[in-house]
Amino acid sequence: MYNILSLLIGVLITIMIAFNAKLSDGLGNYSSLIVIHFVGLIIVIGIVIFKKIKITFKNNLPLYLYIAGAISVFTVMFNNLSYAALGVSLPVALGLLGQLLTSLAFDHYGFLDVPKSNFNKKKFIGLLVITAGIFIMSFF
């Protein structure tokens, strides 16, 4: 089931990039960022109200974890900027390569208490194949 959800995430991210880029074309990059995140906030508030979820905040969380919101803003902004020059498929492919490299580092070194999973030959072969595919998409 989680594999299907992960596949669905990929579909949704691609659709999101195309919609966000068109919104950015019409409203401008910064105005579209506000609209995109405001709409997301309204939807989450609606879900919380509908499901009657009580939101709690924990005081012992490190402050650096809250930077995820800023990362979201920069992710959308950089996708909007790159879409105009690259289309949809290349930013998605390059984004996935960036995610893959970062996730391999997190897995291997256990950053942020992620369970360690050593880098092995299978992962290296997969990384090479994906990198070769993205290289071909980018330059040929």
- Note the pLDDT of residue 94: 92
Buried b (16+ CB within 10 A) or exposed e, 28-45: ebeebbeebeeeeeeeee
Number of domains in the chain: 1
pTM of the full predicted structure?
0.81
Span 23-49, pLDDT tens digits: 999 999 999 999 999 999 999 999 999
Averaged pLDDT, groups of 10, the chain, 140 residues long: 92 94 95 96 97 88 89 94 90 92 94 91 93 90
Residue 11, domain extent: 2-139
